[in-house]
Homo-oligomer: A and B are copies of this chain.
């Protein structure tokens, strides 16, 4: 993401890029304070040192800005850890993912990325996951293991977690998702 996704085709290092960095940082700072009521276009503008109209012109609405910030936060900052086995790699990745996504800020991030009518931000989340799975799959193949396909991992592990984050009041512990993973890896049908 970053420079390539800037609206209006801003040149890296230009004023437009500086505005984006300042406004994104302002949103993160206000979010870190944890007062949702303080997250408005005027307070973000004041914190970033720009005018509210700059934000409206560039992002259209607060929801679109929050969606962009959430998509950037959801970009993984490292490769999935190499634990020496497919099962270990997936369990470790899943533990971190469940911990991050089921936290209060994680749930807000998932909701934010879907807001503002910007399906490309939501699609980006899937792309990031596909890239993480491709790393794990490539390492597994190099070890002579047979990894599950990305569609199977999305349908059987990621989708149930995201569904529960969005549509239910409590998200199960990681053990629940590890069992779903075991069912996939061992080719077992799900418990009825």
Binding site for B on A (CB under 8 A): 36, 63, 111, 114-115, 117, 119, 122-123, 125-126, 146, 148-149, 152, 154-156, 158-160, 162-164, 166-169, 180, 183-184, 186-192
For the complex with contacts A155-B180, A156-B156, A156-B160, 12 further pairs of A-B residues with Cβ separation under 8 Å are A119-B169, A122-B166, A122-B168, A123-B168, A126-B167, A149-B192, A154-B160, A155-B160, A159-B163, A159-B164, A162-B162, A184-B190
Chain B, Cβ-Cβ closest to A146: B192
Chain B's nearest CB lies how many Å from the CB of A122?
5
How far apart are A43's CB and chain B's nearest CB, in angstroms?
Answer: 17
**Of all chain B residues, which has the CB nearest A119?**
B169
Sampled A-B contacts (30; CB under 8 Å): A111-B114, A114-B114, A122-B166, A122-B167, A123-B167, A123-B168, A123-B169, A126-B168, A146-B192, A148-B190, A148-B192, A149-B191, A149-B192, A152-B190, A152-B191, A152-B192, A154-B160, A155-B156, A155-B163, A155-B180, A158-B163, A159-B162, A159-B163, A162-B162, A162-B163, A162-B166, A162-B167, A183-B189, A186-B189, A187-B189
